[in-house]
C-alpha cells in the first residue's frame, strides 16, 4: 500500500466510524429532526391529487358522457363514448409510460356508472354510485374522528412507519382530526347538491340532467383542491416535529427540544 493510499483509506474509515458513533448517540438521546408532521402530510396529499393532469383525466369521461347524452339522448352511446374517452386517456399514459392510477380510477368510476344506468335505463342513475360513495365515505371519515382514530392520522402512520405512534402526541391527534373533517366536508357538499338534483330528475319533477352532470365535475377535483388549499393553510401554520427516521416526537420531547 502506498503512502497516498493510506490517508485515503483512513479518510474512508473515518466518516464510517463517526457515523456509527453519531448513530449510537442519536439512539441514546433522540433529537427532533427538521422535518415536521405537516410537511409529511403535505407531500402525501400532493401525491394523492395527481396534479392538474390527474384532475383533467378525472373530469373528461364524465364531461363526454353528459354532453353526449344531452345532445343525442342516447344512453348507450353516451356511456360508450365516456368509457372510450377514459380508455383513450389510458392509452396515452401507456405510450408515455406514466402512471395509470388516475385514469384507472376514472375508468372504474364510469364503468360502475354504466352498470347502474344500463340496469335501470335511466341516464341520471349514472350519477347515483358517486352520491352513494360520497355519503358512505363521509360517514366513515366522521366515525374515525369521533372514535379518536382520525383517517389522516393513519396516513401519518404510514409515512412514519409507526401505525400508532402518532397517537402519543395530542397535538398530532388534534391536527389529524381537523384535517379529516376537511376531507368530510367536500363529500357532504356533493351529496347535499347532487342528491336533490338526482331525485328531481329521477322523479320527473324537473329536467336537471345537465346541472347534475356539471355539478359532478365542478364538485369533483375543483372542490377537492379547495379543501386541499385549506388543509395546506392549516399545515403551514403548524410545526409538529418528527423524530429521527421519521418517527413522531412525543409532545414532551418536542417541548424539551424547542427549549434546548
- In the block, which residue shows the cell 352520491? 131
pLDDT at 76: 85
Nearest of 71, 86, 250 to residue 172 by alpha carbon: 250
Is the predicted pLDDT of residue 132 greater than 60, yes or no?
Answer: yes
Is the predicted pLDDT of residue 38 greater than 80, yes or no?
Answer: no
pLDDT at 39: 63
The pLDDT confidence band at residue 242, using thresholds 50, 70 and 90, is low
pLDDT at 136: 96
Rounded average pLDDT over 134-157: 91
Question: Per-residue b/e over 167-203, b at no fewer than 16 CB within 10 Å?
Answer: bebebbbebbbbbbebbbebbbbbbebbbebbebbee
Mean pLDDT of the chain, nearest integer: 74
Distance between CA atoms of residues 150 and 143, nearest Å:
8
Q: In terms of pLDDT, which residue wins out, 49 or 75?
A: 75
Flag the least confident range among 5-9, 24-28, 85-89, 172-176. Answer: 24-28
Of 6-15, 18-27, 56-65, where does the model show the most confidence? 56-65
Is the predicted pLDDT of residue 247 greater than 80, yes or no?
Answer: no
**pTM score:** 0.67
Angle between helices 151-160 and 37-49 (to 10 degrees): 100
User: What does 101-161 look like in DSSP terms, one character per residue?
Assistant: HHHHHHHHHHHHHHHHHHHHS-GGGGGHHHHHHHHHHHHHHHHHHHTT--HHHHHHHHHHT
User: Which tens digits make up the pLDDT trace of 193-236?
Assistant: 999 999 999 988 888 888 998 898 888 877 877 887 788 787 77
Of 37-41, 108-112, 134-138, 222-226, where does the model show the most confidence? 134-138
User: Which tens digits make up the pLDDT trace of 75-126?
Assistant: 888 888 888 888 898 888 888 888 777 778 778 888 888 889 888 888 889 8
Amino acid at each position: 500500500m502506498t503512502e497516498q493510499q493510506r490517508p485515503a483509506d483512513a479518510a474512508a474509515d473515518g466518516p464510517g466510524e463517526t457515523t456509527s458513533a453519531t448513530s449510537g448517540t442519536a439512539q441514546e438521546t433522540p433529537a427532533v429532526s427538521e422535518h415536521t408532521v405537516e410537511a409529511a402530510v403535505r407531500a402525501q396529499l400532493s401525491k394523492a391529487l395527481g396534479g392538474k393532469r390527474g384532475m383533467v383525466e378525472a373530469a373528461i369521461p364524465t364531461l363526454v358522457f353528459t354532453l353526449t347524452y344531452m345532445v343525442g339522448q342516447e344512453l348507450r352511446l353516451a356511456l360508450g363514448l365516456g368509457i372510450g374517452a377514459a380508455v383513450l386517456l389510458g392509452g396515452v399514459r401507456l405510450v408515455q409510460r406514466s402512471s395509470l392510477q388516475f385514469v384507472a380510477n376514472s375508468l372504474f368510476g364510469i364503468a360502475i356508472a354504466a352498470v347502474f344506468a344500463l340496469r335501470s335505463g335511466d341516464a341520471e342513475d349514472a350519477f347515483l354510485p358517486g352520491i352513494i360513495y360520497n355519503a358512505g365515505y363521509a360517514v366513515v371519515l366522521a366515525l374515525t374522528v369521533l372514535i379518536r382514530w382520525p383517517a389522516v392520522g393513519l396516513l401519518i402512520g404510514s409515512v412514519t412507519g409507526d401505525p400508532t405512534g402518532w397517537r402519543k402526541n395530542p397535538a398530532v391527534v388534534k391536527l389529524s382530526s381537523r384535517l379529516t373533517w376537511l376531507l368530510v366536508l367536500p363529500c357532504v357538499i356533493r351529496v347535499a347538491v347532487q342528491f336533490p338534483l338526482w331525485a328531481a330528475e329521477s322523479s320527473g319533477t324537473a329536467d336537471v340532467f345537465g346541472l347534475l352532470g356539471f355539478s359532478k365535475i365542478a364538485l369533483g377535483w375543483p372542490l377537492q383542491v379547495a379543501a386541499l388549499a385549506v388543509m395546506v393553510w392549516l399545515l403551514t401554520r403548524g410545526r409538529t416535529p418528527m423524530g429521527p427516521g421519521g418517527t413522531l416526537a412525543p409532545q414532551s420531547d418536542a417541548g424539551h427540544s424547542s427549549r434546548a
